Amino acid sequence: MIDDALARAVSVIRAARAITVLTGAGVSAASGVPTFRGDDGLWKKQRAESLATPEAFEQDPRLVWEWYDWRRRMIRDARPNPAHDVLARWTRELKTTLITQNVDGLHERAGAERLVRLHGSIWHVRCWRRCVTGEADWLDETVPLATLPPHCPHCGSFVRPGVVWFGEPLDPAVLDRARAAAADCDVFLTVGTSAVVYPAAGLIPEAKGAGATVIEINPDATPASSSADVVIRRPAAEALTELDGALSS
């Protein structure tokens, strides 16, 4: 027996022509990756907002890189969980576009296609000074990094993580793709995000305003809850597994 919220979600997803999903750190919680705003999200009593900024890097690049190196070690040992697996399959089989705020690469490792990475990737780096040859992101999956902070092989300046920091704009082309997917779907799922960081959180009202049915999957209430049409108050892996099972039965 599935509950009313799940049954409603199944019926709108079945009827949908296009589905867009926005994910946040809660999707990776079952893989052992701490969320940012949960009790376990702090590192050395530092909040993400105080480390994930260009100013913090300018002031103490080693401290910022210690935090990223710690997260990279944790993420390397993590595995995609059933929430990643279900969403990856939906991108291949259910006309689903997946927009993620996560930088951990677990959606990719689960095989997701049609993926929009709003905040970049923790596995990419680029030259802090944006030197001519080091300007574009490159992949560096070394864990742990040999030196903190690492140095640009082209100009010798520091290298920074290839992620979007607070106070930095998102890549306009990436944001356009996300906005288009939010505006052009019948069902918009927001899964495992506190919906407080913009412009990502703004995709929820944009989808709703364009006529989508909004479904929230999150064990806790968020600022998006009151405008969601369907609220599933459960962990992502559990809810998505059940939803997926009901869709294919």
Q: Does 213 bind ligand OAD (CB under 6 A)?
A: no
Among candidate residues 119, 124, 151, 154, the one labeled active-site is 119
Return the residues of window 38-97 that contact ligand OAD according to CB under 6 A: 38, 41, 48, 52
- Pairwise CA distance, residues 100 & 119, whole Å: 8
Q: Among 97, 218, 231, 244, which residue interacts with ligand OAD (rule: CB under 6 A)?
A: 218
Number of residues counted as binding ligand OAD (CB under 6 A) = 26
Structure tokens at 167: 């106070």
Nearer Cβ to ligand OAD, position 41 or 54? Answer: 41
Structure tokens at 166: 């607070």
Residue closest to ligand OAD (Cβ): 26
Structure tokens at 81: 């969980």
Q: Which residues pair with 192 in a beta bridge?
A: none
Name which of 181, 209, 186 is nearest 117 in CA terms.
Answer: 181
- Per the listing, tokens 């920074």 go with 160
Q: Among 10, 12, 22, 30, which residue interacts with ligand OAD (rule: CB under 6 A)?
A: 30
Q: Residue type for 56, please? A: A
Residue 51: which residues within 8 A CB-CB, separation 6 or more? 43, 63, 64, 67
- Please state the closest distance from residue 140 (CB atom) to ligand OAD, in A: 18
- Pairwise CA distance, residues 183 & 101, whole Å: 18
Q: Among 197, 204, 224, 230, which residue interacts with ligand OAD (rule: CB under 6 A)?
A: 197
Q: Among 112, 186, 192, 213, which residue interacts with ligand OAD (rule: CB under 6 A)?
A: 192
119 a catalytic residue: yes
Q: How many CB atoms lie under 10 A from the CB of residue 249?
A: 7
Q: Does 190 bind ligand OAD (CB under 6 A)?
A: no
Binding site for ligand OAD (CB under 6 A): 24-26, 29-30, 35-38, 41, 48, 52, 101, 119, 164, 166, 192-194, 197, 218-220, 222, 235-236
